[in-house]
Chains A and B, each alone.
Chain A
Amino acid sequence: MSITERTTTSPVAEFVPRRHPWRIVGIVVVLLAALALAAVVVLNPRFQWNVVFHYLFDPRILSGLWMTIFLTFIAMVVGLVIGVVIAVMRVSASRTLRWSSGFYIWFFRGTPVLVQLVFWYNLGYLFPDISIGIPFADPWFTARTNDLITPLLAAILGLGLNEGAYLAEIIRAGILSVSSGQREAATSIGMTRAQSFRRIVLPQAMRVIIPPTGNETIGMLKSTSLVSVIALSDLMYSAQSIYSRTFEVIPLLLTASVWYLVLTSILSFGQSKIEDHFGRGVTAEAGLSGRNGMLHMLRRTGRKA
């Protein structure tokens, strides 16, 4: 009875959104905790922040930084090229290709990257000379291994070949995530296998490939610090060589960490941009991609406050 009365008196009722008082409490708690943490870190003189910032733009640190960026980039490019090739071999119809690519992954994923770096660096110990030619005949070209394998090349080989094995599995998962109907459709319009892979399968696989590859890139950024064992002066090695003389161990490790954080932040931002790009057609219908969804939420909470 009362319901009918209300609907007749006010046909257009106002919608009142639900209140979330505990969210406000949560925000306050987190803010206080963050302030407390910041105070403890900033006000503690033993962190020696002045030293941290003194070395932040030191030429040695900066040149190490460039080496780290360069190594990460080259190793990822090498890894991606190898990864695509090995992944395609893994899903190929030929048993020979499947098995040999499986062996590659088994070996390079199964041994520590540190060992691989040292191995490439000391290749000259196992093979003093490298020759190109037909086996058991006079070679066309011979060189001393130690002249060919510089520390930089050893680092690129060690990091890149290892990364290729991991990326191959990531890319294979991406390829398998694309439905067989997509391949059938591409084949039915007369595409060759290569065209179908490049134009139809890979772009869709990218959605699955990008997030773990972003992880791998960030992991690689830090793995490059392993090259200090083969005396290549990356960011970490530069910091070490400074604190080994000044004994300001913690501040210089912080200096390096600041740079690592800056680089990972840039990479994460780039990753979300790339994800948006390859999410075309999939996130479009949902209306809210990951980041826009966050923005949307922020705007909503902001309006209420």
Chain B
Amino acid sequence: MSAIIATTSTSVTVEDVRKSYHHHEVLKGVSFTVPANTVTSILGPSGSGKSTLLRCINRLIPIDGGTIRVGDQLIGYENRGGRYHELSDRDLCRQRQRIGMVFQNFNLFPHMTVLANLVEGPQVVQRRPRRETETEARELLALVGLAEKADQYPGQLSGGQQQRVAIARALAMKPELILFDEPTSALDPELVGEVLDVMRRLADEARTTMIVVTHEIGFAREVSDQVVFMADGVVEAAGAPTVVLDPDHSPRIRSFLARGLH
């Protein structure tokens, strides 16, 4: 697994990040650190700003305050002479190439075959040769157990298969960090396991840095090195899963766990 993904994983530092929509503050100064080669799960009730935060990390959403660093690189800005200058579109695109993302609704490109979905980024964005990228894409598909689906269209696959293709598509860019936005929330219950298995293998074998917004408390417990619990736009607790996901940690976490464990 690690042979194909051959990435250098990187750390992420989120510091005092703020974001408002129409005078409503969604993120009220969020800070946490994700060490390289680790998995961080972000949990919390809906509306706590988890997905917004994730989109800020690859700047699908620009932030209003604070800083986000991926490795040694400041996201969205360049520090010149003590001032943060906003980056050009082209530089932003260059930064995003290092950050993979997996979406709740898969967002595969429906007009392209599975293989074409995987090679789109490497060929169009990274301008790498066709043969090389196709070979790699087929290996990635084999890795997620979908080698025989290369020539099918996303619409012909089940939700779980689509999400595994989406993970392979993110991996095809050889990212240093992968963001997962509720990757199993849109799946039928019996399909959740196959996607979590792939993510678990990514964490264990490839040691990719992963930030996972999820409602799967079991996954967060077993796979994460760190759990960040968010509520009302702030980090309520961050630390090892056993510490944070303890009903005695705080009343909020207790009620969240009680609801999640039904």
Binding site for B on A (CB under 8 A): 179, 181-182, 184-193, 195, 199-200, 203-204, 278, 280-282, 284-285
Contacts and interface: CB of A to CB of B under 8 A. Distances in A.
B9 to A, nearest CB: 18
A94 to B, nearest CB: 14
A100 to B, nearest CB: 22
Interface of B: 55, 58, 60, 89-90, 93-94, 96-97, 99-101, 103, 105, 107-113, 120-121, 124-126, 153-156, 169-170, 173
A195 B124 contact: yes
Contacts of B101: 184-185, 188
B93 A190 contact: yes
A210 B99 CA distance: 35
A285 B152 CA distance: 10
Given A204-B111, A282-B111, A181 B120 contact: no
B94 A190 contact: yes
Task: Tell which of A186, A190, A191, A195 has the most Cβ of chain B within 10 Å.
Answer: A190
Contacts of B60: 184, 187-188
Contact of B103 (A184, A193, A278, A284): A184
Given A184-B103, A188-B170, 14 more contacts: A181-B103, A181-B107, A184-B55, A185-B107, A185-B109, A186-B109, A187-B60, A188-B60, A189-B96, A190-B94, A193-B89, A195-B125, A204-B111, A280-B153
Contacts, number: 81
Nearest to B95: A190
Contacts of A181: 103, 105, 107
A189 B173 contact: yes
Contacts of A204: 109-111
Nearest to B96: A190
B110 A281 contact: yes
A281 B155 contact: yes
A192 B93 CA distance: 6
B156 A284 contact: yes
A185 to B, nearest CB: 4
A190 B109 contact: no
B111 A187 contact: no
B155 A285 contact: yes
Contacts of A278: 111
A9 B176 CA distance: 67
Contacts of A182: 107, 109
B121 A191 contact: yes
A200 B109 CA distance: 7
23 contacts: A181-B103, A182-B107, A184-B55, A184-B60, A184-B103, A185-B101, A185-B107, A185-B108, A186-B109, A187-B93, A188-B96, A188-B99, A188-B101, A189-B169, A190-B121, A190-B173, A195-B124, A195-B125, A204-B109, A204-B111, A278-B111, A280-B153, A281-B110
